[in-house]
Each structure stands twice: as C-alpha cells, then as structure tokens.
Amino acid sequence: MPITADQPITRILTPAHV
C-alpha cells in the first residue's frame, strides 16, 4: 500500500516510510 494523499492515516501508521 503506497502512501497517498487519500490515505493520510497510513503515513502515520508507517514508521517513517520515506
């Protein structure tokens, strides 16, 4: 699951997925 603007929660759940 790629981090998208549609899923801001995923970015918070992922541990620094940059």
pLDDT at 9: 74
- Measured between its terminal Cα atoms, the distance across the chain in Å is 13
Is the pLDDT reported for residue 4 higher than 60?
A: yes
Model confidence at 6, pLDDT cuts 50, 70, 90, reads low
| pTM (whole model) above 0.85 | no
Mean pLDDT value of segment 1-18: 66
How would you write 1-18 as a 3-class SS string? CCCCCCCHHHHHHCCCCC
pLDDT at 16: 63
